Every structure is written in C-alpha cells, then in structure tokens.
Structure 1
Amino acid sequence: MTRPVVGIIGNRGLVNDRYPVHEGGQMNSCAVSHVAGCIPLLIPADPEFLSIEELMEVCDGFLLTGGRPNVHPEEYGEIETDKHGTFDRARDAITLPLVRACVERGQPFFGICRGFQEVNVAMGGTLHPEIRELPGRMNHRMPPEGTLEEAFALRHKVILQPGGRFAALFGAEEVVTNTLHGQGIATPGERIVIEGRAEDGTPEAIYVKDAPGFTLSVQWHPEWNAEDDPVSRPLFHAFGDAVRQWAAAKAV
C-alpha cells in the first residue's frame, strides 16, 4: 500500500550565492518518512507554479517548516523594519491561505518554527520581530557558531497546560527542547490556543481551537533527531497518524 503524501513547504535560496533553488532541510524529509511514515514531497512554495487547490488534492497533509525568511509584517498589519529580517513573499502567498483552507477542510498540518508563526498569522495573530529585546525574555536565536549538534542542543523547558493536548501526547507537563528563532507570537490569532510556554513566557506550543483536523504547531525544531528524541517522536507519530486517517477517508 502506498504511503500518504506530506507536502513539505520549503523555502527559496541560492546555491553559491547565485543559482536560485527551492530548498528544504533533509532532516524534515527524514522525520516525515522515518517517523511519521509518510512520503515526503518538497513543495516549491510559490503561487506562480501551483495553487492551493492543487496542493490540497495532491498532498494528504503538510509540514510547514522553519526557514530564515520571516512572515512579512504587512500580513499582520505592521510596517516593515530592519528588525523583521528577510522575507519570502511567495511562501507567504501559499502558506497563509493554505493554513486557513486546511483548518476549514480538516486536512492535517504540522507547523514548525516559521510554520508555527505562519499558523498564528494566518488566523489573524501578530508577531514580535525580536523577542530577545522584550523585558525578561531570553535569547532564543541559534548560537552564531558551533556544530549542528550544538545549534540544535536542548536549551530550555516548555511548560505545558495540564490536561491539554500536548501534555497528553508527551505524557508530561514539562519538556525540554531546542530553540532557534528570533521572532515569536505577540498577539494570538483567533482560535489559537497556547498550550506551552518557555520559562520566560514565550509561546511554544499551539493548536487551532475547534479545527476538525490536526493543527498542532511548535516554535522549536522537532525534526532534529526526531527518531530518537522523546519529545519529537510522538509529535511526528501523531502527525503521521492524522495524515493516514485523512488519506484513508479520502480513498473511501
């Protein structure tokens, strides 16, 4: 039996600072294939090449990955500044309406880092451009130097809502995660439920209230070491189960 397909929303980049590519981290594909048990399909997130309707027919679920470009502040009613960093407006044009369409249809998606922020913005929320500048907040950004192992090392606790979806999934009300982001949720979007926060209060785990499908999203990077990490593995297992359920229902 063919495995269901997860569309991995990638980013635009340059090879050798000159050749344009659509790209996605190999660890995302590894987590989708080896842990979620689905076929990973890298999506060129650009409305020039595909439509939301086509994507939703081809794919059974979606992984909204992290990436260096940020959601453009115009998408949540603010003016661009230097603090907002770089952007990928083509990805914005795909992911934001895709999230809303999936919420309405019940098609599963899993948001990671930028994807977590996209889910909040898609539902009407706003973002802080630099959370490390807020009083009492820690620096959640990737360390500027070191190996990948050091960059993705576990760095802070996430405190989960007792009895919530994430606590049930992990079998714990507190977990330890990596952290590699500069922006964060300022105002939660409509129907966004924050179930996990870092020790400094930064939102880290959310879902969309009353959505008929899987909408769990996290601010950290569970794709790193997903096969062995006790926090990452259940997230991708649950996502894979939701995608299989969607695919089976579609086949009837």
Structure 2
Amino acid sequence: MARPIVGIIGNQHLINDQYPTHAGGTMNSEAVSEVAGCLPMVIPSDPRLVTVEELLEVCDGFVLTGGRPNVHPEEYGEEWTEAHGQPDRNRDAITLPLVRACVQRGQPFLGICRGFQEVNVAMGGTLYPEIRDLPGRMNHRMPPDGTLEEKFALRHKVSLTEGGVFHRLFGATEVLTNTLHGQGIKTPGTRIVVEGHAPDGTPEAIHVRDAPGFTLSVQWHPEWNAANDPVSRPLFAAFGRAVHAWAENGPKDLRAAS
C-alpha cells in the first residue's frame, strides 16, 4: 500500500550563486520517511507553478520547513526594514493560504522555525524582526561557526504548559531543544495557543485552538536527528499518525487532532 504523501515546503536556492533551485533539507525528508512513515515530496513554493488547491488534493499533510528568508512584514501590517531580513513573497503566497485552508479542513501540518512563524502570521499574528535585539532576550540564532552537529546541538530548555498537548506528547513539562532562528512571535494570532517558552520568554511551541486537525508547530528544528532525539521522534511520529488518519478517512476523521 502506498504511503501517504507529505508535501515539504521547499525554499528557493542558488547553486554556485547561479543556478536557481527549489530545495528541501535532506533531514526533513528523512524525518518524514523514517519517523512519520510517509512519502516525502518537496514542493516548489511558487504560485506560478503550483496552487494551494492542487496541493491540498495531492498531499495528505505538509511540513512547513525552516528557511533563511523571512515572512514579509506586510503580511502582518508592518513596513519592511533591513532588520526584517530577506523575504520570500512567493513562499508567503503559498504557505499562508495553505495554513488557513488546512486549519479549516482539518488537514495536518507541522510547522518548523519559519513554518512556525508562518502559522502565527496566517492566523493574524505578528513577528519581532530580531529577537536578540530585545531587552532580556538571548541570541537564538544559529552559531556562525562549527560543524553541523555543533550548530544543531541542543542549547536551551523549553518549558511546556502542564496538561497541554505538548506536555502529553512529550511526557514532560520541560524539554531540551536546539535553536537556529532570528525572528519570533510578537503577538499570537487568533486561536494560536502558545504552550512552550524558552527561558527568556520567547514562544517556542504552538497549536491552533479548536482546529479539527494536527497543527503543532515549533520554533526549533526537530528534523535534526529526528529518529533518535527523545523530543523530535514523538513529534514526527504523532504527525505521521495524523497524516495516515487523513489519508484513510479525510476530513471526517478528527483523530488527527490528538
């Protein structure tokens, strides 16, 4: 029997600063295939090439990946400045309506880093352009030097709401995660429930209130070492169960929310 399809939102990338591609990190595909038990498919996030309606029909679930470009601040009512970094309007045009459609349909998605921020913006929230510039906040950005293992190393704790969805999933009210982001949630969007915070108060784990499907999203990168990490594995496994339930039963099955 064919595995359910998970659309992995790709990012625009230049190979050798010349050749344009739509790329997805290998670790995203590995996590989807090996832990979630689904078929990974990288999506070219460009409205000239795909439509949200097509993606909803072809894919059973979605991973909203991290990415260097940021959500354009016009999407949450602010003007762009250099502090907001390089945007990707093509990706915005796909992911923001895709999130809203998935929430309405109950179709599962997992938001990661930029994807976490996209979920908040799609639901009407706003973002800080640079967390490390705020008083009392730590530097959440990826270390500029070192090996890949050192850049994705676990760096801070995330405190989770007792009795919440993430607490039940991880079996703990405190977990250890990596951190590789510059922006973060300023104002939570409508129906966005923040259930996890870094030690400096930065939101790290969210879901959409009363959504009929799986909407868990995290600010860290659980795709790294997903098969072995005690936090990443249950997250991707739960996402996989939700995708399988959707593939088998479609919008009538609400078990994906559990």
Tell me the TM-score normalized by structure 1: 0.99
Structure 1 moving runs of 4+ over 6 Å: none
Which residue pairs with 2:179 in the alignment? 179
- 1:177: Cα distance to partner? 0.1
- Tell me how far 1:141 sits from its aligned partner: 0.1
**Equivalent runs, 1:24-35 vs 2, <5 Å:** 24-35=24-35
| Structure 1 alignment gaps of length 5 or more | none
- Matched residues in 1 for 2:181 and 2:237: separation? 24
For residues 12-40 of structure 1, give each alpha carbon's deviation from its aligned partner in whole angstroms, at most 9, with x where no partner exists.
01000011100010000000000000000
**CA drift at 1:250:** 3.4
Distance 1:183 1:250 in 2: 34
Paired with 2:18 and 2:247, the residues of 1 have a C-alpha distance of: 39
- Secondary structure at the aligned position of 1:40 is classed as strand
Instruction: Tell me how far 1:193 sits from its aligned partner.
Output: 0.1
1:16 alignment counterpart: 16
Inter-partner Cα distance in structure 2 for 1:251 and 1:185: 29
> Matched residues in 2 for 1:13 and 1:172: separation?
38
Identify the residue that residue 46 of structure 1 maps to in structure 2. Answer: 46
Q: Distance in 1 between matches of 2:28 and 2:250?
A: 25
Moved more, 242-251 or 3-12: 242-251
Which residue in 1 is equivalent to 2:249?
249
Task: Specify the alignment match of 1:126 in structure 2.
Answer: 126
- Aligned to 1:235, the other structure's residue is in SS state helix
Q: Distance in 2 between matches of 1:207 and 1:10?
A: 22
Q: In the alignment, is residue 238 of structure 1 matched against residue 238 of structure 2?
A: yes
Aligned pairs for 1:208-247 within 5 A: 208-247=208-247
Q: 2: CA distance between counterparts of 1:251 and 1:122?
A: 21
Give the alignment of 1:139-154 within 5 angstroms. 139-154=139-154
Matched AA of 1:175: V
Secondary structure in structure 1 of the residue aligned to 2:193: strand
Q: Deviations over 1:127-173 (max 9, x none)?
A: 00001011110000000100000000000000000000000000000
User: Deviation of residue 50 (structure 1)?
Assistant: 1.1
Kindly provide the amino acid, as one letter, of the partner of residue 57 in structure 1. Answer: E
Contact 2:71/2:87 (CA < 8 Å) preserved in 1? yes
What is the rounded CA distance, in whole Å, between the counterparts of 1:219 and 1:56 in structure 2?
24
Q: Is the 8 A contact 2:105 2:251 kept in 1?
A: no
Whole-angstrom CA distance in 2 between matches of 1:246 and 1:34: 19
Q: Identical aligned pairs, as a percentage?
A: 76
5+ residue gaps in structure 2?
Answer: 253-258
Separation in structure 2 between the aligned mates of residue 24 and residue 221 of structure 1, nearest angstrom: 14
Q: Distance in 2 between matches of 1:4 and 1:21?
A: 25
Supply the distance in 2 between the matched residues of 1:67 and 1:51 (Cα, whole angstroms).
Answer: 20
Pair 1:85-2:85 in alignment: yes
What's the offset of the Cα at 1:251?
A: 11
Structure 2 CA distance for aligned equivalents of residues 48 and 6 of structure 1: 21
Any idea what SS the aligned residue of 2:187 has? coil
Deviation at 1:87, TM superposition (A): 1.1
Whether 2:195 is the aligned partner of 1:199: answer no
Q: Give the AA of the match of 2:36.
A: A
Tell me the number of residue pairs that the alignment of Structure 1 and Structure 2 aligns: 252
Please list, as runs of the form range in 1=range in 2, the aligned pairs for 1:64-75 lying within 5 A after superposition. Answer: 64-75=64-75
Secondary structure (helix, strand or coil) at the match of 2:215 reads: coil
Separation in structure 2 between the aligned mates of residue 94 and residue 28 of structure 1, nearest angstrom: 19
Q: Deviations over 1:213-242 (max 9, x none)?
A: 000000000000000000000000000000
Paired with 2:243 and 2:8, the residues of 1 have a C-alpha distance of: 13
| Distance (Å, rounded) in 2 between the aligned partners of 1:154 and 1:119 | 24
